[in-house]
Every structure is written in structure tokens, then in C-alpha cells.
Structure 1
Amino acid sequence: MPSALEDPVAHLWRGTVALRIVTLLFALGAVVIHRTGYERPWLAWLAVAVMAAWSAFTIRAYSRESGRRPWVVVADLVVTCGLMSLSPLILTDEQFLLNVPLVTTIWACGPAVAAGALGGQVAGAASGFVVGFFTYLNRGLVGVDLVRDVVLLTGAGFVIGMASSTARRTSVRLAQALRTEAATAERERLARSIHDGVLQVLARVRKRGLELGGEAAELAELAGEQEIALRSLVAAAPSESTLDGDADLRPGLQLLVSPKVQVSTPATQVMLPAGTAHELIAVVREALSNVDKHAGPGARAWVLLEDLGDEVVLSVRDDGPGIAEGRLASAEAEGRMGVAQSIRGRVESLRGTLELQTGPGEGTEWEVRVYR
């Protein structure tokens, strides 16, 4: 997998490193220019030395993926605000009146950029606001310049954070697309191989068995069932979850196709939370199991999936003898909880609705509605 997928915001960290170097040089130039007017020049040079040492540490940390840790960014914010707080001891009252830059100058923007690259827009904006707030504490006065600095710091952290979040989401989606493409290519390769081999053999066995009759006909029927099941398995799309944890409901239903079960689904994806999709497939499996157990050997079943936008409707219908009135209640009283737990209980857990239509000689139809 490309390294860009492993570290999708590496370019932002390289920008952070470059910014740290440029702003350090700017801070050094500001101290050189104003050194003669400082109240404590030695403290200004000490602050610059600490800034240089801390810049070297953060540059090394931010240049490696292992060094991009929350504690490093938090420490960066603490050190920056601490060095900024030395300004009242370094600058004279006259320099404050003349709006001479604080000792950290624009070097203080580093934590906001780093926090945005690591934690997203909220972390970046919060870090920028903290730096701006400390600028106010050291200036002591609210003016146009101070408000501008706070807005720029907060906005820069927010924008970098948004770019970081977008890059990570894009990277995950690209990785999913690559996995889906690889899975599709492999499935198509297997489908060609299976079609040229196994499916042709099963079709031949089914045809020859029906010609021979007797016990061979039973084998032919089994071969036909396996042929249909295998074709459904090969044709089913791969189950791929999205970044939000949604999954397409159709592939799991398509695997239920058999000589006695037909499945109809929309041509487009029917996306639901992966857990919801899993539970709905389990409901259909239980309903089909009941058809196999109670509707008779010749009964057929139909599964229909409908996507109505704000809700998903899933129905399972059979042409069996139907369910006699009171039969479900008596089965539940006898301790047979298939319908009560496997069907009704699952639908209730999904906060959906379940409707049963049945009667003697009318077959049975379960209709499940799950709201988005």
C-alpha cells in the first residue's frame, strides 16, 4: 500500500516543520532588532536559546510518524505559552506601548498548526485560541492587533485541522476503493475459473441425472441446488463497509438464493449500519428456516427488498399452508421461541415494525420495516 495511505497528513507535518524553522528565524531577527531596548536582554537571549532547542526537538518529533503524539503537541503548547509569558519581564513599558512584538512573535503559531494536523479542526482551533488568550494575558490590552492575532491563530488551526480530517477520510476511502477493486478482480477471476470447471460439471451431472431417473435424479436435484447456490455466491457483490460503518444489505440476501428461494433486490446499494444489516439477514434466514420446516417439501419462498429512502422494507413470502390461528402463541408457550426471539425480538431491537399476514391455505408473509 502506498505510504500516502499510511500517513495521509505527512505533507501537513512537513509544512509544520518548515513553518517552525521560518518562524524561529523571524523571532531571532526580532530579538536582534529590539535587543538594545529590552529591560533584560539576557533573558531574551535565553528565551531564544530555549526556542531553538525546543524547535530542534519538535522538528525531529514531527518529522517521524512515531513522534507525532498528543503529549508532544500539548507540551509544545505549554512551552510556547510559557516562553510567551516571559515577555513582561523582557519588554519595557515603553515597548509595550509601541506594540513591540512579544519575545515569541509568530513562532507561537506552531502549536495551533501541529494540533490541527494531529487532532483535526476542533483541536487546531482550540490550540490557536489558547495561544491567542495567552497573548492577551501578556499584552493586557484588547486592541485591533490582538483580536486579529486571535482570529488568525484560531482560524489557522481550524483550517489545518479541516485539511487533516479531509485527508484522513480521503485516505480511508481510497484504501476501501483499492480493496474493493482487488476483491472484485479476484472474484471475477474465480468466477471464470468456476464457470469453466465446477459449474459445467454440476450442470452436466444435473442433466445426466435427470436423463437416467431414479436415484440418479435425486443426485441431479442436489447438483442443481449446489449449482444455483454457487452461482449466487460468485455473483454476489463483496460486502464492504463504509467509513461510517454502513454496509450494503443486498449481498447477504443474494446468498440465500436456492431452487426454492427467489431474492429480488434493488439495482442500487441499500446501505444500512452493518449491525442492522446483519440482524435483518438473520431475520430472513429464520423465516426461510421456518418455511423449510413447516411449509412442506414443495413450498417456495420469495424475498423482496425495497429501499423507500427513509425506510427499508423487507418481506418474506411463501406458498405453504399458512399458520393456523393461535399457533404462534401456543408455540411460544411450549418454549419454542424461534419466531418470538429470532424474528420478533430482532426487529424490536432494531426499533422496526413487523407485520404477519397468513391464513389457512394462504401461505405466510412477513413484512419488516426498519426506519433510517
Structure 2
Amino acid sequence: MADGSSPLWRGHNIFRIVMFLYACGWVGAQYHEYERPWLALVVIVLMGVWTAFTVWRYWTPAGRTNLLVAIDIVVVTVLFLSNEFILTDQQMADSDPSVVTAWHPTMVTAAASQWGTPGGLIVGAFAAACNFLLRWKTTPDMALDTVLLIGVGTVMGIASSSARTTTARLARALRAEAATAERERLARDIHDSVLQVLARVRRRGTELGGEAADLAQLAGEQEIALRALVATTPQETTENGETDLAAKLQVLRTGRIHVSVPGNPVLLQEPLSSELFAVIRESLANVEKHAGPDAQAWVLLEELPDEVVVSVRDDGPGIPEGRLDEAAAEGRLGVAKSIKGRVDGLGGTITLDTEPGEGTEWEIRVPLPGAKPAKRRRGGER
């Protein structure tokens, strides 16, 4: 997909061709006045070859590599500085155009198109410095050239950066729109087929009782989970690499798992969001395995100024004293590796609150980027 800077590159290519033709005109007009006319011909031929090559390479995104742009800057600079051996002292004193002349700024437009504002600004200043190095004097024309070189690089760099940002935002919006449309289509199909079947199984199983009632309960739970899944907005990473943890957690909602999140998005960097989601999912898996088939679980997400707090609570039988140490000694490291290990890797803390017959509650605190690490709290492993 285009990165949004393609129109700028086309403009650069046209600018380079036009400036090369302009330089050819000046060489024809001043040819007999040069100190080394033969060297002027060599430079103009090299300029023509390099112009043809770079226009061909820059025409497609695959050819716009950082290496080629860097080489472009070196080539243009060398050809420009070679005028030291072409122009006479009088031409230098009169500030006559060099052989390269207005072709010189094309390296600035290439850098700005490739690297945005920083690239355009830095290479523009570098081109101005080379101009002073060649002429070795300060005149109003030199000052104007400096302003134009830096100004063109900065303005074109801003345009390039803005074009890339706008294109990326548009691409995300189009992907989100396509994903939403597909999800709505699937939701209609699921509602007309799977959800209706699950609802019928739930109603009929409840009427029959016995083992059929157990199947009805399972069908009801799956119906709730499926409704939550199709109702959840697809997650797209923002331009800053963030995702909404609150929206992610909605898919965990079932008949026995209750999820409470803030009304506003909880935007976290994608690696942090994914790791926290994995911790919560593993905690709920522990509830499923150890708290019994009828246990209820509650997930609460809070976003504080300097940290994210997640609590996972269940109404199961709780954890007997020393049971976590026994599990670790037996090699069952689910909590130690999948839960506590992940939280430690995020620089956070995990707290266990449990009593026999009183259920279990895990409280997970993870500092936000830039926040000071929280003090370690009493934790446990399950």
C-alpha cells in the first residue's frame, strides 16, 4: 500500500528533471568561460545518468530506500563541490551559477520525502553549508539560498510526515470499517442460526430438567459469551501502538464471568495490553479448574494516574494455607509462570487475598510507562 508520500516523490522526480535541463542550459551558455570545460561536460553527463537512474528508482515505493537516498546525497554533494575545479576565480567572485546550479537542492527534496521534517531540515542545512564551503563568502544571495534550502527541506518534510500520518490513519479507519462490516454480517448470520439454536436448547433443557438442565446451563453460558463476542468492537492498534484493554476484556464475559471496566477506553501499549489480558485469562482459567463448576467470577479494571489495577475475584472455596507452595513443589507452576511471572516481567505487583470458604481475589497492579514502580505487596502462587 502507498505510504502517502508518492505524490511528493513524483514532484521530486519532475523537479530533478527540470533542474537538470536548466543546468544543461547554463553549461551551454558558459561553456567557453569555464576554467576546465571538459570537466563541466563530465559533471553534466554524470548528472544526467544519475537523474535517469534515481527517477527510475524513486518512481516506485520499493526503490525509495534509505541507502539510496543517502547515496544520492553523497553523489549530489560531490558533483556540486567539483565546481571548485570548474569555475574560474572571476566566476566565483561574481557568484555565477555553478554547473550543478539548481540541481543541487534536489537532494534536499529527496531527503525530505524520505525522512520527513528532520531529514529535510538537516539535509537542507547541510546543502547550505556546502554552498558556503564552495563560495567561501557571505552575500545577500548566499543568505537567500540558505533560507530557501532550509525552508524547502522543512516545508516538504512537514508535508511528507503529514502525508504518511494521514495515510496511516485512513488505512486504520478503512480496516476498522471493513472489520466492523464483516462482524455485523457475521453477527446477523450467528443471530439467525447459532444463537437461536442455543437459546432453544437452553429453554428446552430447562423444561426437561435432569441432565438436560445441565446442558441447558452450558448452552446459556455459550450464548452469553457468543453475544459478547459479536457485540465487541474489533480492536485496532492506534498510531501510537496502543490498544483498548477495556474493550479486549469484554470478550471474556459469560454467564459466570462478570466484567466491569471504565466507561472510557483504557489505552495501553500493545505488548502491555496483551500481557495483562493473558494474565487475566489465565486467572479465570484457574477459577474454572479450581473453584468449581458453579463458581462466579468478577473482573474489575481500574485506570489510575500512574498505574492500571485489575482484580479477579471468585466465590469458590478459597485456597488452603500452603497449597500454593505444594503445587509449586509438585511442578505445577501455572501461577508462578503464567500469572506471577508475567506480572513481574511488566514491573508490577500481584496480591492474593483468600481464606478457606471465602473465595479468592487476585489484585494486579502494573505501573504505566513513566510512572515510578509500585512497592511490592504480599503475593501468592496458585
Q: Same fold (TM over 0.5)?
A: yes
Partner of 1:226: 222
CA displacement at 1:278 relative to structure 2: 1.9
CA displacement at 1:85 relative to structure 2: 2.2
Partner of 1:261: 257
The code of the aligned residue for 1:267 comes to G
Partners of 1:294 and 1:71 in 2: how far apart?
A: 58
1:91 aligns with 2:74: no
The code of the aligned residue for 1:86 comes to S
CA displacement at 1:148 relative to structure 2: 4.2
CA displacement at 1:151 relative to structure 2: 4.3
Partner of 2:325: 329
- Report the 3-state secondary structure (helix = DSSP H, G, I; strand = E; otherwise coil) of the residue aligned with 1:290: helix
CA displacement at 1:71 relative to structure 2: 4.0
1:280 to 246, 270, 276: 276
2:108 to 93, 107, 112: 112
CA-to-partner distance for each residue in 1:309-347, whole Å, 9 max, x for gaps?
442221111122323333333433343322222221111
CA displacement at 1:43 relative to structure 2: 3.4
CA displacement at 1:7 relative to structure 2: 4.3
- Report the 3-state secondary structure (helix = DSSP H, G, I; strand = E; otherwise coil) of the residue aligned with 1:266: coil
Partners of 1:342 and 1:43 in 2: how far apart?
A: 70
Question: How large is the RMSD of aligned CA atoms in angstroms?
Answer: 2.4
Using the size of structure 1 for normalisation, the TM-score is: 0.89
Partners of 1:80 and 1:297 in 2: how far apart?
A: 74
Partner of 1:77: 73
Partners of 2:62 and 2:324 in 1: how far apart?
A: 60
Question: CA separation of 1:115/1:356 partners in 2, compared to 1, >3 Å: closer, same or farther?
Answer: same
Question: CA separation of 1:187/1:97 partners in 2, compared to 1, >3 Å: closer, same or farther?
Answer: same
Partners of 2:86 and 2:96 in 1: how far apart?
A: 11
CA displacement at 1:144 relative to structure 2: 4.9
Asked if structure 2 preserves the Cα contact closer than 8 Å seen for 1:311 and 1:371, the reply is yes
CA displacement at 1:73 relative to structure 2: 2.6
Partners of 1:289 and 1:59 in 2: how far apart?
A: 58
Q: Give ranges in structure 1 of 5+ residues lacking alignment.
A: none
Q: Give ranges in structure 2 of 5+ residues lacking alignment.
A: 369-382
Partner of 1:164: 160
Partners of 1:19 and 1:254 in 2: how far apart?
A: 53
**Aligned positions, number:** 368
Greater mean deviation of Cα atoms: 112-121 or 238-247:
238-247
1:244 aligns with 2:240: yes
Greater mean deviation of Cα atoms: 134-143 or 310-319:
134-143
Partners of 2:53 and 2:274 in 1: how far apart?
A: 49
Asked if structure 2 preserves the Cα contact closer than 8 Å seen for 1:86 and 1:103, the reply is no
Partner of 2:14: 18
Partners of 1:64 and 1:215 in 2: how far apart?
A: 66
Identity %: 54
1:352 aligns with 2:348: yes
CA displacement at 1:359 relative to structure 2: 2.3
Partners of 1:251 and 1:85 in 2: how far apart?
A: 59
2:194 to 189, 194, 198: 198
Asked if structure 1 preserves the Cα contact closer than 8 Å seen for 2:221 and 2:254, the reply is yes
